[in-house]
Amino acid sequence: METTEWIQLGALLVSIIVLIIMIINFNNQMKLSFFAEYTKRYQEIMLNLPEGINTNSVAYNDSSERVRRYLRAYIDLCSEEFYLHQNRKIHHKVWENWEQGIKASFQLNLFNEAWEHFDKTSYPEFYIWITKEIIR
């Protein structure tokens, strides 16, 4: 092999390595962006729920329509997270974090009462999981 061919081969290998590094970095950025978007949605929902939800002093039937919409948004968010987990679209450590949050939320009366008013036919697998793993 001549010198120019070695140089071309070296340039090709460097190009391939750079491309692989760029793909890995892009993939990591997409994962971070994805996680940040779900975190942002969660924070928006929580900021729009009543202050007393952690004390179990807020009842679903006494909540405004606005609060009920945010509760629905939270349950929808949880079902999306469950779907992503079921279809292996997120890392298991991310799911473990989200699962702990869902379990903590469903320990509160307001979320349990909201669940009772939620249309469970739209998300049958999520309904089964919530019933078996969360609300026992």
Q: What is the pLDDT of residues 9-47, one digit of tens each?
A: 889 999 999 999 999 888 888 878 888 899 999 999 999
Decide: residue 113, CB within 10 A, 0-12 exposed, 13-18 middle, 19+ buried. middle
Closest CA to 110 of 66, 53, 70, 68: 53
Kindly state whether residue 86 falls inside one of the protein's structural domains: yes
Kindly state whether residue 50 falls inside one of the protein's structural domains: yes
pLDDT range class, residue 118, cuts 50, 70, 90 = confident
Q: Mean per-residue pLDDT for 113-119?
A: 88
What total number of domains does the chain contain? 1
pLDDT range class, residue 136, cuts 50, 70, 90 = low
Kindly state whether residue 13 falls inside one of the protein's structural domains: no
Cβ 72 vs Cβ 114: under 8 Å: yes
Backbone angles phi, psi at 45, to 5 degrees: -65, -50
Kindly state whether residue 121 falls inside one of the protein's structural domains: yes
At residue 48, does pLDDT exceed 80?
Answer: yes
Kindly state whether residue 99 falls inside one of the protein's structural domains: yes
Instruction: Write out the two tokens for 81.
Output: 């997270």
Kindly state whether residue 84 falls inside one of the protein's structural domains: yes
Kindly state whether residue 1 falls inside one of the protein's structural domains: no
Quote the domain boundaries for residue 117: 38-134
Closest CA to 112 of 125, 131, 86, 126: 131
Q: Please tell me the predicted confidence (pLDDT) of residue 96.
A: 95
Quote the CA–CA distance of 117 and 122 in Å, as a whole number. Answer: 13
Kindly state whether residue 81 falls inside one of the protein's structural domains: yes
Percent of the chain at pLDDT above 90? 54
